[in-house]
Amino acid sequence: MHLTERQAKIIDRAKLAGRVQVEELAGQFAVSPQTIRKDLNDLCDARLLTRIHGGATFPRGTENVLYDARRQIASTEKLAIGAAAAALIPDSASLFINIGTTTEAVGEALVRHRDLMVITNNLNVANRLRLLDDIQVVIAGGVVRQSDGGIVGEAAVDFIRQFKVDYAVIGVSAIDPDGALLDYDFREVKVAQAIIANARHVILVADSTKFERTAPVRIAQISQVHTFITDECTSASIRAICSDAGVLLVEAVESKPQSSL
């Protein structure tokens, strides 16, 4: 779905407030309630928002929105996170990139790097980077999920275990206040755990909406990663965990990373 400028602003307001109301939005944007209702219907059809009487809410809780819809959520923030992660990865490095819309943003930001080996279970990343002469792409085998082009299952886990790479870039569906990194599919989690175990430096990339969500399957603890890149760390408990565990916290704003320990 291509978002209009007004629809993008509606999503931003819903993300901040938790919900939006038709009448309020009509007044704020100086358009008719019917126009806002159409916007909300389109956004809810794409599962970017959830319809309620008189308005809509931002998806939270255990709801896993469709992959194409997730690309639209915090898209600007994901670009900034991707650029910040790519800046930490030198030329001539080897790295894992796993499934996720934010990890795809990292892959896009790596296109000017030279002499990389990228091992991935993300078909979208592989299709983008395989076109580049300076990047060798190695793709995991296994079951391909139709929903997002992710390769999962025991075959993918066994494949990942063959490597020991310089960096791993991982995404997650949710981050719990106690530092648990969470996802929805236990098959994907097994691959992510193998990636973490076989990388010298693990980079977690996740936008701030992941603090507001939850998911049922534990991947790891945030203390197990080396660097955490987000647009804004809104969780005081996560800040404290990163500080105590020596995890580098990078808050990326408008493609300009700002670091703090």
Number of neighbouring beta carbons within 10 Å of residue 178: 10
What is the rounded CA–CA span in Å between residue 67 and residue 72? 9
What is the architecture, at CATH level 2, of domain 71-260?
3-Layer(aba) Sandwich (3.40)
What is the rounded CA–CA span in Å between residue 11 and residue 15? 6
| Amino acid present at 210 | K
pTM of the full predicted structure? Answer: 0.74
Parallel, antiparallel, or unpaired for β 143-144 and 50-52?
unpaired
The DSSP letter of residue 170 is E
Closest CA to 72 of 4, 165, 169: 4
- pLDDT score, position 72: 61
Determine which of 84-88, 218-222, 228-232, 250-254 has the lowest per-residue pLDDT on average: 250-254
| Amino acid present at 168 | A
Residue ranges of the chain that CATH labels 1.10.10.10: 5-59
| Mean per-residue pLDDT, 249-255 | 80
What is the rounded CA–CA span in Å between residue 60 and residue 154? 30
Residue ranges of the chain that CATH labels 3.40.50.1360: 71-260
- pLDDT, averaged across the chain: 89
186-201 tens-digit pLDDT? 889 999 999 999 999 9
- pLDDT score, position 51: 86
| Mean per-residue pLDDT, 168-180 | 95
The DSSP letter of residue 208 is G
102-142 tens-digit pLDDT? 999 999 999 999 999 999 999 999 999 999 999 999 999 99
220 in Cβ contact with 181 (< 8 Å): yes
Fold of 5-59: Arc Repressor Mutant, subunit A (1.10.10)
